[in-house]
Amino acid sequence: MRSSGSLLVDNIGELVTNAPGEGEGGPLGVHRDAALLVEDGLVAWVGPARGAPAADRRVDAAGAAVLPGFVDSHAHLVFAGDRAAEFAARMAGEPYTGGGIRTTVGATRAAPDSELRGNVRRLRDEALRQGTTTIEIKSGYGLTVADEARSLRIAAEFSEDTTFLGAHVVPAEYADRPDDYVGMVCGPMLAAAAPYARWIDVFCERGAFDVDHARAILACGQAAGLGVRVHANQLGPGPGVQLGVELGAASVDHCTHLSDADIDALAATGTRDGATSTVATLLPGAEFSTRSPYPDARRLVDAGVTVALATDCNPGSSYTSSMPFCIALAVREMRMTPAEAVWAATAGGALALRRDDVGVLRPGARADLIVLDAPTHLHLAYRPGVPLIRQVLHNGVPQ
Ligand SMILES: [Zn+2]
């Protein structure tokens, strides 16, 4: 739904636009004492509050900070059940192996559409209340032709960025014949999933899919018109990042265990604003929830790699929908500056989805924005765990 008429967000103490060269310069493009005009769901004007045009309605930011809505480029929202007991066992010392995915597959297959749809809506709404106005949604807990297709059909009711992850794990019934499963993913499953998907993804990891299987699946998806993303280098060093670069992936996600060659390969794909760069999407909620070492964001940023932050929201390894939490982790545990983390959670996420209409507040972009209960974006990391999202506008509509 889009708003009709015009709306002025006025009296903004600090406006983060992510428009380079704007305002005070630097990647956040900060304006002080600013206003922003919304028309037909889009940003129509940005400038000083004193020169603001008239509008039909007005939102008074009361001197607070305003940011683009968060872009969560990695989430697994279509599932049933939860795995709280597995989390408790892990916190008591059991290691994370990824094997618990099959528990969720069983619950998801058994659930009616209404239960899956209700879960996606609940989590999407939860994310929206925390400032997320764009969220990618993956399949990957069905792992049959029918269950992957229905997962994506439901996901597409809530997001334009839906991702076919039939290659999440090899399901139990194919455990001793993974080649047959890969053939099925590339054949009837892809054909059933592709009408509802924009992207294809593979969990390229020991215990999931090896590099040859991953390459075959991603190439089939590309041939069917889907863009490429990869779960790579989460649990240990591996070939996933380089495979993503080889295939021109929009994003390689996790990037917890990287070699110098991996970082060089990512850096060589382009600069921060290069539309064709392969983004390194870091998911610190997963390291938090599996008590694992965090990725070295500082090393990536310093090498010139484009970095995004996302939640990896899923019932096993990262059951958070909170981008502010991920920003706080990135600053405290991954040595990003607050400005870098906010950029990665907004503009970085947009680049990871190859979108130029979100993650930025400039004329023509979607009027997706957050009014903070704080004078500056710094508070997102400075005040962790505090609900700082005062108001969210999505397509120009106050939520
Ligand atoms: Zn994931």
Can you tell me the mean pLDDT for 262-267? 96
pLDDT at 3 over 60: no
How much distance in Å is there from the Cα of 138 to the middle of ligand 1?
8
How much distance in Å is there from the Cα of 140 to the middle of ligand 1?
9
For residue 275, name the pLDDT band (cuts at 50, 70, 90).
low
- Tell me the residues surrounding ligand 1 (ion) with CB < 5 Å: 312
How much distance in Å is there from the Cα of 285 to the middle of ligand 1?
10
Residue 276: the pLDDT is 76
Which tens digit of pLDDT belongs to each residue from 202-231?
A: 999 998 999 999 999 999 999 999 999 999
Can you tell me the mean pLDDT for 178-185? 97
Which tens digit of pLDDT belongs to each residue from 337-393?
A: 999 999 999 999 999 999 999 999 999 999 999 999 999 999 999 999 999 999 999
Instruction: Kindly report the pTM of this predicted structure.
Output: 0.96
Residue 223: the pLDDT is 97
Which tens digit of pLDDT belongs to each residue from 191-204?
A: 999 999 999 999 99
For residue 274, name the pLDDT band (cuts at 50, 70, 90).
low
How much distance in Å is there from the Cα of 311 to the middle of ligand 1?
9
pLDDT at 127 over 80: yes
pLDDT at 58 over 80: yes
Residue 137: the pLDDT is 98
Residue 273: the pLDDT is 55
pLDDT at 268 over 60: yes
Can you tell me the mean pLDDT for 69-98? 91
pLDDT at 33 over 70: yes
Q: Measured on CA atoms in the order 19, 307, 166, 288, is the torsion positive or negative?
A: negative
How much distance in Å is there from the Cα of 56 to the middle of ligand 1?
42
Which tens digit of pLDDT belongs to each residue from 240-254?
A: 999 999 999 999 999
What's the Cα-to-Cα distance from 393 to each of 2, 57, 70, 100, rounded to whole Å?
10, 13, 11, 37
Mean pLDDT, the chain, as a whole number?
95
How much distance in Å is there from the Cα of 316 to the middle of ligand 1?
10
How much distance in Å is there from the Cα of 75 to the middle of ligand 1?
6
What percent of the chain is predicted at pLDDT more than 90?
90
Whole-angstrom distance, CA of residue 239 vs CA of residue 254: 13
What percent of the chain is predicted at pLDDT more than 70?
96
